[in-house]
Structure formats: C-alpha cells, structure tokens
Amino acid sequence: MIYMLLLCFLIFLIYISDRKNPTNRWGGISGFLFCLGAIKEYFYFDLVPLIPHGTVNGEPLEIYTHLYSVMTALLYCFAMPTAIIFAMYFAGYDPNSSTRSRNKMIWGGIFFIPLIILLFYKPHLFRSYQLGNSVFWYVLGTFNLLCGLVFSLLILRTVFQEPNPNLRRQKRLVATIILPPVIYWLVTIFIIHPLKLNALFKLWQGNIVIVILSIGFFLVMSFRDGIMGLKLRREKYRWNSDMSSVRRSVAFTIHMFKNETAKMEYCIDNLEQEFLSKNQESVPPTEFALMRRSIEKQQEILERARRHSDEIILLEQPCSITNLIEEAVSSISYLNPQITIRVDFKDDASLLCDKAHILETIINLLRNAAEAISLRGEIRISYDFVPKKGYGFIQIADNGSGIEKKDLDRIFDPYYTTENPEKNFGLGLAYCRNVIQKHGGYIKVQSTPNKGSIMTIALPSERFSLESFSTREEMAAIE
C-alpha cells in the first residue's frame, strides 16, 4: 500500500510539473501504467479478501482474477512502449512533427508488437499464463527487456550528447530519477520470472527503497534548482516566463514617468519663456538645457528598458554573419578608442534569424565587454560551427575585470546588475538570453575575476547555410 501511494505520488509530481509539455504527459501516462503493478497486487492480494464473498475457498472470484489479469496485461504490454515515447520527446524528437506516413509508421511500430502479443495471450487470462506458461514469460521478457534497452539508450544518449550545459544538467537529474526504478523493475520481473527463481519472485517489492530515494531526490532538486519544469519556491520553474512580470512593471514605470516628465517639460518651457520675457537680450541659463538633457537621458534609458523587456516576436530572414558582426562592432567602437577589437573572420555564412534582435544582442554583449575594460584592453569576436555539437557559435571574449563567481548564476536575471543602477536597469543580459532562447539556442558565460570573460552564443546548426562555413570539429575555447 505504501509503495503504491509513493509511486503514484512520484508520477503525479512529474505530471503536474508541466502538464502542457508532451514529455511530462507521456511520462505521466507511462508512470500510471507502472503504478498498475503496485495497484493490482494490493487489489488482488490485500483488498479482495476484505470484500464480502470476494473469495471462494481462499481464492478470489473469477471476475477479480480477470480484472487483475487485465491490469497485468496493460502493465506488461504498454508500460515500456509508452516509456519509449516519453524518451523520444525527452530526446527532443517529436513523432507528430514527421510526415503523416512516417508518423503512422512510428506510432504503429511502437504499438504493433504489444497488440500482436495480445492476440496470442488474452488480456483477461494473464494470471493463468503467469502461473503456468513458460513461453509467456520468454515472450514478454524478451519484449520488455528490448524495450528497456531502447528506452535506456535514448535517455543516456540524450544526456551525454546535449550541448546546452543547463539542459544537460536537467536531463541528467531526470535520468537519475527514472532509470534506476525502471531497470530494477525489468530485472526483477522479466529476468527472475523466466528463470523461475521462485525465492526471488517478490524481490520487485524492494523497488520501494528506490522510489523513496527518487521522490526525495526530486523534491530536493525542485527546491534547489527546479526539475522537469517545476521549482518549489512559490513559482513555476523559470524557462523564460520571468520576463512577463518584467514587461508589466516596465510598462507601468514608463507610463508613470511620461506623465511626470510631461509636467517637468511644461514647467521648464514656462520658466524659460518667463525668463526671456523679462530678460529679452539675455541668453537662457545653462540650467534649462541641463534639465532638458537630463529628461532626455532618462527617457532614453527607459526606452532601452522597454525594448529589452518587450515580448520577442521573431521576423526571420537570412543574414550574413560577417555583416552582422561588422555592424555590431562599428556601433560600439566609439565607446573607448583605447580598446582594440579583433574579429576572427572565417568564410561567410548565412544565418536565418531576426536580424534586429540578434544584432542588438551582439551589441549588448560587446558593450558589456567594453565597459568591463577600464583603460586599454582587447575584445575578440569570432564565430565557428561544430558539426559534432550541432550548433554554430559566436564568441565574444575580453580581458576586462571579469565577473565574480557569486554573480555568475544571476547575471541573466532581470534587474540584476553589477553596474551603476542609475545607468543600467539590469535587463540587457536577460534580453540577450531570451532572444537566443527564442532562436532555439543558449548563451554560455565563462569568467575569471581580473582576467576577463567569454560570452558564447550558440545557435542551432539548421539556422546556418553552411556551404562556405568553416567546419572545424572542435572549438577549444568553448570546451
């Protein structure tokens, strides 16, 4: 009973973490089928004997045996196929995105064998097959162990080949939770039973220890970093939803500020006109111009905050990477003439992107690099494509002040800034991250205090036209 409740609780946690995510949905479906293993045992051996007239001579009535058999059939025939579908979504492969004919082949291939098995072994008779049919165990054992192998390989391959460090960590956590109980179940059911190791038939119940550890691990990770879309700190685990509240607060601030600056400009105009009417031959004091410049500067800062907090809608077009980099470099070269900007140009490539947003992102990163250099210094910007990783990389490196370790995990948070808050809203890097995520990529930062930083933009390889793009297998700086 305890095992059943704990298992159902773990599956429930996985499902509610993100119900709209097909990975979570199929994880919930597969998990429910695995729960049937505990439910049917509790129902048949613990609950039925308590039902009035539920047994005859100590044996459950036939209807209860049939119900137990059907639950066993669902577990043995469909738990692992649905787990494979979960693993496919987990690996980033959506079966529904294929062509219609290929779609039918995928779904048909996954469920074809279970349906064939059920033609030979009637679902309502599974209890009798379990007790006296060795071939039944060989067939079901082979089927489930092969499914388990495919499932495990999909999960492990996804974990080891994921290039995004944040996603790789998340997927490693998920694999740690789901692989041990599934493998334990496969071994204790489909190896022990076909081999007729009678003394170990109930060894599957030891899975309760693994489930308890998995639940504990899930909850700890939910509170610490978030897992499978849920962060237990009175908030949904953040993918890019944090910017919605930022947009609301910035819009409110700009609205209020416009009202107040309109009053200030009205008063300045009146004061200036009054001064000129009394002193017709005099030049207005510089304070009037100073106040106007101050208002314009604040309006400029708020406008930049608005641009960085607006919802990002991509208007994609092919763009030359070389032109993007040249335009970004020219736009920040005035900041500090003592900074040397070196560009590692390779053969040009076409990038399918929203030019305005990508250009603004590169400019923001270059501006941050320039501001991190106090006097003389160097900024290096380069790009490369790594086929093995499936990404194209734009890298911006500087030898400036670097970023403290305590700040690294927060630099992409909205409103967080290590600069002067009067000049910087702390929205620039949050904007950059969201732009790159909208393009299906990620930003990685490496930094050493007093030595400099490296910001790496990674964009999916399918966005590049690679005919003339360098294809070195590795880029040492990213490693």
* Structural domain for 82, as ranges: 2-237
Question: Does residue 477 fall inside a structural domain?
Answer: no
Q: 55 and 8, same structural domain? A: yes
Give the residue from 237, 263, 278 where a domain finishes: 237
Give the residue from 309, 332, 365 where a domain finishes: 309
pLDDT of residue 368: 86
Q: 442 and 294, same structural domain? A: no
Q: 160 and 34, same structural domain? A: yes
**E strand spans, 229-357:** 230-231, 235-236, 317-320, 339-344, 350-353
Of 473 and 53, more confident: 53
Q: Rounded mean pLDDT of the chain? A: 78
Question: Does residue 439 fall inside a structural domain?
Answer: yes
DSSP class per residue in 113-126: HHHHHHHHS-GGGH
Mean pLDDT of 78-105: 75
Q: Cα separation of 342 and 321, whole Å? A: 15
Q: 247 and 233, same structural domain? A: no
Q: 370 and 293, same structural domain? A: no
| Helix axes 286-309 and 428-438, enclosed angle (nearest 10) | 30
pLDDT of residue 151: 93
Is residue 381 packed enough to be buried (19+ CB in 10 Å), middle (13-18) or exposed (0-12)?
Answer: buried
The per-residue b/e assignment along 134-158, b for 16 or more CB within 10 angstroms, e otherwise, is eebbebbbebbbebbebbbebbeeb
The CATH number of whichever domain residue 155 belongs to comes to 1.20.1070
Question: Does residue 386 fall inside a structural domain?
Answer: yes
pLDDT at 168 over 90: no
Q: 69 and 133, same structural domain? A: yes
- Range with the lowest mean pLDDT among 64-68, 211-215, 324-328, 372-376? 211-215
Of 256 and 439, more confident: 439
For strands 391-398 and 452-460, give the pairing.
Answer: antiparallel
Of 425 and 54, more confident: 54
The count of domains in the chain is: 3
pLDDT of residue 68: 93
Q: Is residue 397 within 8 Å of 452, Cβ to Cβ? A: yes
Token pair recorded at residue 366 = 């270059």
Q: What confidence category does residue 391 fall into, taking pLDDT thresholds of 50, 70 and 90?
A: confident
pLDDT at 399 over 70: yes
pLDDT of residue 117: 93
| CB-facing half-sphere around the CA of 111: CA atoms within 13 A | 8
Highest mean pLDDT: which range of 82-96, 211-225, 234-248 = 82-96
Q: 223 and 152, same structural domain? A: yes
Q: What confidence category does residue 271 fall into, taking pLDDT thresholds of 50, 70 and 90?
A: confident
For strands 339-344 and 377-386, give the pairing.
Answer: parallel
Mean pLDDT of 321-346: 82
Question: Does residue 141 fall inside a structural domain?
Answer: yes
Question: Does residue 455 fall inside a structural domain?
Answer: yes
Beta bridge partners of 20: none
pLDDT at 405 over 70: yes
Q: Cα separation of 67 and 47, whole Å? A: 13
Q: What confidence category does residue 217 fall into, taking pLDDT thresholds of 50, 70 and 90?
A: confident
Q: Cα separation of 226 and 156, whole Å? A: 20
Q: What confidence category does residue 276 fall into, taking pLDDT thresholds of 50, 70 and 90?
A: confident
pLDDT of residue 123: 94
- Range with the lowest mean pLDDT among 186-190, 211-215, 464-468? 464-468
Q: What confidence category does residue 220 fall into, taking pLDDT thresholds of 50, 70 and 90?
A: confident
Residue whose entry in the numeric block shows the structure tokens 């779904």: 107
Q: What pTM did the predictor assign?
A: 0.52
Does the CA dihedral 56-60-64-70 come out positive or negative?
negative
For strands 339-344 and 452-460, give the pairing.
Answer: unpaired
The CATH number of whichever domain residue 432 belongs to comes to 3.30.565.10
Question: Does residue 364 fall inside a structural domain?
Answer: yes
**What digits encode the pLDDT tens for the residues 18-52?**
667 788 888 888 888 888 887 888 888 888 888 88
Q: 301 and 381, same structural domain? A: no
- Range with the lowest mean pLDDT among 65-74, 209-218, 261-270? 209-218
**What digits encode the pLDDT tens for the residues 376-387?**
888 999 888 776
Q: 232 and 85, same structural domain? A: yes
Q: 145 and 221, same structural domain? A: yes
Question: Does residue 471 fall inside a structural domain?
Answer: no
Token pair recorded at residue 341 = 């900007």
Mean pLDDT of 314-330: 87
Q: 458 and 339, same structural domain? A: yes
Give the residue from 286, 309, 332 where a domain finishes: 309
Question: Does residue 472 fall inside a structural domain?
Answer: no
Q: 252 and 178, same structural domain? A: no
Q: Classify 329 as helix, strand or coil.
A: helix
Which alpha helices (DSSP H) does 333-470 contain, by range?
355-371, 405-408, 428-438
Nearest residue to 174 via CA among 232, 216, 214, 231:
214
